[in-house]
Amino acid sequence: MNTAGHSEATERRGLELTPFRGLRYDPDRVGSLAAVTSPPYDVVVRPDGVHHLQSADPHNIVRLILPQAGSPSAGTEQAADTLHRWQAEGILTTDPEPGLYVYEQHDGNGLLQRGVIGALRISEPSEGVVLPHEEVMPPVVADRAALMRATSANLEPLLLTYRGNGAAAEVVEAVAGRPPLLATTTEDGFHHRLWSITDPAEVTLVQSDLAHRQALIADGHHRWATYLRLRAEHPSPSPWDYGLVLLVDTARYPLRVRAIHRLLHGLPVAQALEHVKGLFRVRRLDVPLPAAQEALADAACAGNAFLLAGDGAFHLIDRPDPDLLARTIPDDRPAAWRTLDATVLHATLLDHVWRIPEDSPAHIAYIHDTAATVAKAERDGGTAVLMHPVREEVVRDLARQGVTMPRKSTSFGPKPASGLVLRALDV
């Protein structure tokens, strides 16, 4: 990888994406490519999620991204040992020449997403090149940093979006018409295909186009913060100046934006409702989940609204008391931030009404799957707080203003499958 030879002005103007030698599973050495993939580390939500993936194939990527051991340090050591063993055994092999990778996902029902995977120059938010939109939790960053240090690898690509509709998109389309390096279908029904771009002219077209673009972190804030931390630990120039990303042009392929829900441990629904009485309007909904979500969407059009679940019913809470919001929400941010559901949830409900620390796994969990959140709340006697998704335009506008949303405010997708291509930093 070329980490030098560019002027400062060139480096600062936009996205700098470089080819790398991908580390990929040898399909002849594993049961199937689908069986060794996993959702991103923070999306494995089922109670038996890790066990299920480990059972799918002894070489499933979850053994690297979520190692199971007696302690965090033992887990990172185990992941490093596993990675090196798989490389020595030829389970994972390095592609012969550096390239960018075109990645396609489609669900067979009209949803198609394509993007380009490469090693992106890491930049500070102040540079305005890669825009974060959510706050991060330091313990998670520390955990991911320990794993990357131990393995000396980027095990999963982050999901970044940009709006271009230019030469890079044309190259992606052209490459997608060729035979792929790999094709597989995962158990969620998504079809995945991967191609490499090694032709210098095509690589240059992609790089030149992206050099004028700005990206939004759609998924992977903690891993981007990890990239920044590890870059600071290694003298530049070094491979740590770059991090593995998937860049999707949302002018061609708009992403879905979904909410990330909260599971409040140790807070029964009845108690949660008792605390909001008189502060929000509360309505009980004895309807199935889809109908409850429709009611939430309707209420969200008029203002802040949430669904509480865990006792066999759904409870729609909306129309918060304006005086309560004025007392609990900081007034030093733009109106678009102050009126976010996530802002009201964290500043008003969690901090003030329920007094639940948002960064304590003992008190709160963040779950992407709606039905799984409800099921866990009902099983454990806690409260599920179901959210309505934020529009992508709101996320991007706030990010451009340098305003971060409360942590775990959005879930962009579809997310790239982990395990299709890795980046070893010692290659």
- Average pLDDT of the residues in 153-182: 96
Asked if 160 and 90 count as a contact pair (C-beta separation under 8 A), the reply is no
Q: What's residue 403's pLDDT? A: 83
Q: Under DSSP, is residue 99 helix (H, G, I), strand (E, B) or coil? A: strand
Give the bridge partners for 221, in sequence order. none
User: Per mean pLDDT, which of 24-28, 52-56, 361-365 is the most reliable?
Assistant: 24-28
- Average pLDDT of the residues in 81-86: 97
Structure tokens belonging to residue 188:
């969620």
For residues 343 and 308, what is the distance between their CA atoms, to the nearest angstrom?
Answer: 17
Backbone phi and psi for residue 399, each to the nearest 5 degrees, phi listed first: -60, -40
User: Per mean pLDDT, which of 164-173, 329-338, 362-371 is the most reliable?
Assistant: 164-173
Task: Tell whether the model's pLDDT for residue 173 goes beyond 80.
Answer: yes
For residues 211 and 129, what is the distance between their CA atoms, to the nearest angstrom?
Answer: 10
Task: Tell whether the model's pLDDT for residue 5 goes beyond 60.
Answer: no
pLDDT (tens digit, 9 = 90+) per residue, 186-230? 988 999 999 999 999 999 999 999 999 999 999 899 999 999 999
Structure tokens belonging to residue 135:
């706050």
For residues 65 and 76, what is the distance between their CA atoms, to the nearest angstrom?
Answer: 9
What percentage of the chain exceeds 90 in pLDDT?
Answer: 73
Structure tokens belonging to residue 73:
């340090």
Q: What's residue 247's pLDDT? A: 98
Greatest distance between any 2 Cα atoms in the chain: 65
> If we measure between CA atoms, which residue out of 325, 415, 375 comes closest to residue 115?
415
Q: What's residue 1's pLDDT? A: 46
pLDDT (tens digit, 9 = 90+) per residue, 87-101? 999 999 999 999 999
pLDDT (tens digit, 9 = 90+) per residue, 253-273? 988 888 889 999 999 999 999
For residues 249 and 160, what is the distance between their CA atoms, to the nearest angstrom?
Answer: 9
